[in-house]
Structure 1
Amino acid sequence: MQHIIDRFISYVTIDTESDPNSQTTPSTPKQWDLANKLVEELKSIGLQDVTIDEKAYIMATLPSNVEHEVPTIGFVSHFDTSPDFSGANVKPRIIVNYDGKDILLNEEKNIVLSPSYFKDLLQYKGQTLITTDGNTLLGADDKAGITEIVSAMEYLIQNPVIKHGKIRIGFTPDEEIGRGAHHFDVEKFGAEWAYTMDGSQIGELEYENFNAAGAKIIFGGKSVHPGYAKGKMINSLLIANDFINELPKDEIPQETKGYDGFFHVNHVTGTIEKTVVELIIRDHNKKKFEKRKILIEKIVKKINKKFAKKFGEDIAIAEIKDQYYNMKEKVLPVKHIVDIAENAMKSIGIKPIIKPIRGGTDGSQLSYMGLPCPNIFAGGHNFHGKYEYVPVESMVKAMDVIVKIAEMTALPNYGLSSKKK
């Protein structure tokens, strides 16, 4: 277990925060620091065909050790961290034999990780937790996934008695800003299917995710001295506020769960003459997803009609761009790849938690690029913030799941009672 702890800490202490405003890939030069380290580490543990391209996409191979034909499978994780919270100068804390009580992350700032608020903590009483020091995120999303994949490959290399087919691994930049799969070479990867190790709590197995779009609404206005503004001033900030108020009040992240979709206004900047509202649109159901985009357009059209005479042109302009789609459509035709993961978990004493992802992963985009790619737990909780933590035992179990999937894939009929396609 200490080996996994050391490996994980060596990754999270390297700042790899991505930047949505950058046009480069990777979006930040510092992502190369971990990428280059990973390349050398993959070579040192004995993987073959270790490559890194000009955009920092890493691939490597564990050759098959069986003579019969076995599908090539893959495991994928991302090494960037979210720009939602600082990933610089991460100082992990290790809590051995967690007692189920409050954890004081930062005494100076009185930042407490408490099971009274984060009830999932109580699942891990008696286990070893890795937390933040209250000043940064931890980076278990998705450096826990990388730790698990590298550790599993190392274990398989050191234990050749475990039979498996050819395994490909891939590490990507910029997943946190929605670009992780944009330059992933599926043909070069050469796997029949893969798994992203990018879920949260132990047992999670997901093959459904949101359909996703981003919207930017630009509102115009007219600035006039406020003392003489009667009938003349048009305040774009107030029009933007009217737009936001037209959105369904209860269809927001903090009021939804499960299969519920939402609108999420996440950025507003403005002056009297120009205000920009940015939001994301999410829904598992494709028809409802399309209706959400149509609603945005209807609200904008309504606002433009209201100000047509006074402004003389469209006062609001909507830009809506699809980001990714529900992978379920691409995974269901090869459902046995989910069944393999489910059986692998059960065989090592993990109760599978099969549920939709309230977000997206590289796997959703990769599935539409021809690489069906369900998502498996990496073990972390409270991603993208100072309350993030990961139980070490969950990382060990995730590593075990990878090993078991590799082993099952080399069995006749993948070890399943019936192969479902």
Structure 2
Amino acid sequence: MMDKQRIIDRFISYVTIDTQSDAKSNTTPSTKKQWDLANKLVDELKTIGLQDVSIDENAYIMATLPSNVEHAVPTIGFISHFDTTPDFTGTNVKPQIISNYDGKDIVLNAEKNIILSPSYFEDLLLYKGQTLITTDGNTLLGADDKAGICEIVSAMEYLIQHPEIKHGPIRIGFTPDEEIGRGAHKFDVEKFGADWAYTMDGSQVGELEYENFNAAGAKVTVKGKIVHPGYAKGKLINSMYIATEFINSLPRLETPEHTEGYQGFFHLCDITGKVEETVLEYIIRDHDRGHFEARKEVMQKITNEINAQYGNDVIVLEIKDQYYNMKEKVEPVMHIVDIAEEAMKQLGIKPLIKAIRGGTDGSQLSYMGLPCPNIFAGGHNFHGRYEYVPVESMIKATEVICKIAELTAMKK
């Protein structure tokens, strides 16, 4: 049996350290405060008895649990990230522990009337009778992905303390800056040395994912001309109006709030505008590679049409691919998904195999030569004040890690 209180204490010790990343920074890690947790993790990994514990100049952490069997076993890895999203503050996180959750509203912050309610977040009802860790309504929690880190560390500690569980060599890796899309950028796959790995970065119990979005970022710069509005006829070009034309030319229902499952989207995530220049920041997402390329072509077509209408290059479009669907790299080695699925089934967990409507370090790592499906870490409502994680879900994820290690060692 996993030590429930130890997992709670470990998780809280992680989330109370602010590790918010910053997309505007050019350093790795993008914020100095990520080192606070990184250095703590290095000490902890050494303390629990892992070998080859290392941290490089970019705060990438690796460690090894040696094999305890004599026959050859593939080296597997488990990976999580320790940064939290820039979308919402992670400063001064004050976790609340809700024991034996009764299925009713949870008051996160009475003063501000911030309520975590199952009438809005229906998944809460899955966890009646369990122990929930929530925020105090002022910050995110950081279960994305400190729950994953907690589970990996706890699993390694458990395997060390229970040598009767047979396993091959296991490598673990913790990364900075995943939330800003750079988590795998400086990950040394050759040094890691695993045949395959799993990111512990999913949500609900049972999630097992080996498909994710193809992803690109698009910057639309609209140039105008500013003159005195009293004498502007035939001279002034208002970039904000032209930007509105661009926005309205994209399919209105192909946005995040209108799509689900395998449906892709265009997402306008930032606007800065004045008469002389307006900049639109988009992300483009689609699971299907052909549809993904078509979405980029749609944006270019609209750009060309508006430029032709106004007689000059009023719009400059820059599109940069960010990551691709890992399915292409995982399907040839589907036994790594099968092992994870079997581990869940043996633990009485119903596998929920579905596509990620997002990306993980694993999507980039798969294209770097390390096939890397994603497994649940247990948290819900990531990136905001309503984030929570059931402790029982973290325990189950920890057990899945141990069971994957055990099953891999049985494969001859």
Q: Is the TM value for this pair above 0.5? A: yes
Name the structure 1 match of 2:268: 265
Between the aligned partners of 2:120 and 2:140, the Cα distance in structure 1 is 18
1:280-299 correspondence to structure 2 within 5 Å:
280-299=283-302
Name the structure 2 match of 1:56: 59
1:82 CA displacement = 0.3
Name the structure 2 match of 1:368: 367
How many residues align structurally? 409
Name the structure 1 match of 2:357: 358
1:177-216 correspondence to structure 2 within 5 Å:
177-216=180-219
Q: Which amino acid aligns with 2:388?
A: Y
Name the structure 2 match of 1:117: 120
Between the aligned partners of 1:206 and 1:41, the Cα distance in structure 2 is 29
Q: Which moved more, 1:236-245 or 1:354-363?
A: 236-245
Q: Which amino acid aligns with 2:35?
A: W
Look up the SS of the partner of 2:38 in the other structure.
helix
Between the aligned partners of 1:241 and 1:28, the Cα distance in structure 2 is 35
Normalising by the residue count of structure 2, what TM-score does the alignment of the two structures yield? 0.99
Name the structure 1 match of 2:222: 219
Between the aligned partners of 2:274 and 2:117, the Cα distance in structure 1 is 40
Between the aligned partners of 1:204 and 1:237, the Cα distance in structure 2 is 43
1:227 CA displacement = 1.9
Instruction: Return the match for 1:146 from 149, 153, 161.
Output: 149
Between the aligned partners of 2:244 and 2:114, the Cα distance in structure 1 is 34
Instruction: Return the match for 1:256 from 259, 272, 276.
Output: 259
Look up the SS of the partner of 1:112 in the other structure.
strand
Instruction: Return the match for 2:98 from 85, 95, 118.
Output: 95
1:412 CA displacement = 3.2
Between the aligned partners of 1:102 and 1:247, the Cα distance in structure 2 is 39
Name the structure 2 match of 1:412: 411
Look up the SS of the partner of 1:224 in the other structure.
coil
Name the structure 2 match of 1:398: 397
Between the aligned partners of 2:233 and 2:117, the Cα distance in structure 1 is 53
Q: Which amino acid aligns with 2:346?
A: S
Name the structure 2 match of 1:417: none
1:40 CA displacement = 0.2
1:341 CA displacement = 0.1
Name the structure 2 match of 1:26: 29
Look up the SS of the partner of 1:75 in the other structure.
strand
1:225 CA displacement = 1.5
Between the aligned partners of 1:332 and 1:130, the Cα distance in structure 2 is 36
Between the aligned partners of 2:25 and 2:244, the Cα distance in structure 1 is 28
1:224 CA displacement = 1.5
Between the aligned partners of 2:388 and 2:339, the Cα distance in structure 1 is 28
1:261 CA displacement = 0.1
1:307 CA displacement = 1.0
Between the aligned partners of 1:307 and 1:318, the Cα distance in structure 2 is 15
Q: Which amino acid aligns with 1:21?
A: K
Look up the SS of the partner of 1:395 in the other structure.
helix
Instruction: Return the match for 1:133 from 133, 136, 154.
Output: 136
Instruction: Return the match for 1:168 from 145, 157, 171.
Output: 171
1:198-248 deviations in Å (ceiling 9; x for gaps)? 000100000000000000010000111122222211110111111011110
Between the aligned partners of 2:116 and 2:320, the Cα distance in structure 1 is 37
Q: Which amino acid aligns with 1:42?
A: L
Q: Which amino acid aligns with 1:240?
A: A
RMSD: 0.5
Instruction: Return the match for 2:303 from 300, 313, 321.
Output: 300
Look up the SS of the partner of 2:268 in the other structure.
strand
- Gaps (5+ residues) in structure 1? 414-421
Between the aligned partners of 2:298 and 2:173, the Cα distance in structure 1 is 38
1:2 CA displacement = 0.6
Normalising by the residue count of structure 1, what TM-score does the alignment of the two structures yield? 0.97
Look up the SS of the partner of 1:406 in the other structure.
helix
1:96 CA displacement = 0.2
1:80-133 deviations in Å (ceiling 9; x for gaps)? 000000011000000000000000100111000000000000000000000000
Between the aligned partners of 1:19 and 1:408, the Cα distance in structure 2 is 39
Name the structure 1 match of 2:333: 334
Between the aligned partners of 1:378 and 1:107, the Cα distance in structure 2 is 29
Dislocated runs of 4+, deviation >6 Å: none
Look up the SS of the partner of 1:289 in the other structure.
helix
The answer to whether the aligner puts 1:80 opposite 2:79 as a matched pair is no
Identity value in percent: 77
- Gaps (5+ residues) in structure 2? none
Name the structure 1 match of 2:348: 349
Q: Which amino acid aligns with 1:380?
A: G
Look up the SS of the partner of 1:18 in the other structure.
coil
1:348 CA displacement = 0.4
Name the structure 1 match of 2:384: 385
